[in-house]
Structure 1
């Protein structure tokens, strides 16, 4: 997924979000596609799973995006001994008042970075399910809503599986997008070294010149505009046919659910809006199909042994499902 090309003069909200790329690039080099995916998630009120080897600036990317959007961000390092209350918050007995009070957990933020989410047991992972789906925390029967906007950006290492717990399908389906954070190209990596040689400190974004260029009001205005993007009936049918095509793919034992089709509709609308269009084209759907669907599909064990990847299956489905004209 590469960044969309704007075809018309941007609206105020769209221009503000487009400025994010230049701002994030002050601290993170060569990750425009991932930044675009995170912006789409914010526009769709969705969550993102970031997958990449250690050292490709996944944490720095999320922190920089939050700073450029003037949003609150918190980070949780997921470990085998992390408890659900460490994430959502818990009741604490106050000896002065002889009563229990709720101490908010790190989920009470705008952008939660769940670092190495697959290193914590299912009990703690499940604590995020209500948070991600309902955007609230329930403690002792009382519901506590989370701030708006709120998204979870979770990271996982694709090459190290010792001491990890696979995310259940129900939780994977809660992520709007799965974005692959690639290793930089040679020139981009040289840029990283030059910045560090010149004194860049990834812990001090302000010193790097990162400033807020958009905020919650811009996101709210942008979401309202995204909702007005038109989707013609043939394009709706194309989205459905793509998802149904994954369900009948011989290499897959689990295809995209109706929730996946809804997610593809929403991400395609956000992509089209970022490109300056007021309607979704089949190419918009194709542009976001892989990051929107790849984590919702499960290959058959025999296909995995033969080296078949989910992205390869998606490429086949995209090539065989007729594109509306």
Structure 2
């Protein structure tokens, strides 16, 4: 049997699905975090939403820290707790919102791995495109790198989302936000080749309007797309192994290196906050410093 606190978490999950339209990944993460909170609360004798207070929340987070959870995990669990207590307060199950008293652990923002522009050219220009899957794989990588879309956004694309004439793609991003993203000519050509000579060979009654298909004809799954990216990159020598997110990082970095302004990159990537996009300015700065150290006669530090 579940207790009242666990029932409240289940209600919160329904709220996130129906009213907040959060991604499946975020939903799983938040509900997992709150299940851990419920277990901790039950161990301390708390089973009612009304008994949640800031002391219990802080003690739970302190235990997470003691267990060696990363700063990113602690930040996410703090965010989950705050969203949950805000939901309880609005539902009238708490007199006050204890989540407002929680500090937010500062997340460590590691610089993401990226391809060099030469690496990206070598990867995309030398790929084996024989057969329907070869055409699909090239189109997948060209679109990921050429637009900077998330892998979930790529797999959600329908055929009609790509406007070949205008060279744009309509993307449904996080929170159901729609945006129009420009697409380069190489990506357009790759998608056209896939639609002409690849997709018809795989399409069946399960395909629907999906732009990219798996080997059995259904909509391409993000797990399969990740496997495609890792596999294709591994075929190219001396190129760092990256995920689809690494191609997104590479696209953003190369846009900034080419002179794009930060606001434009924010709109292309679909970031809700400019602060997220600003991470890429640090990536570019690190790359510039590395070039300076290697190329400038006074760039190296005397030992």
TM-score, normalised with respect to structure 2: 0.26
- Compare relative contact order (CA 8 Å, sep 6+) and give the higher one, 1 or 2: 1
Name the one with the larger helix percent: 2
TM-score, normalised with respect to structure 1: 0.25
Name the one with the larger strand percent: 1
Larger Rg: 2
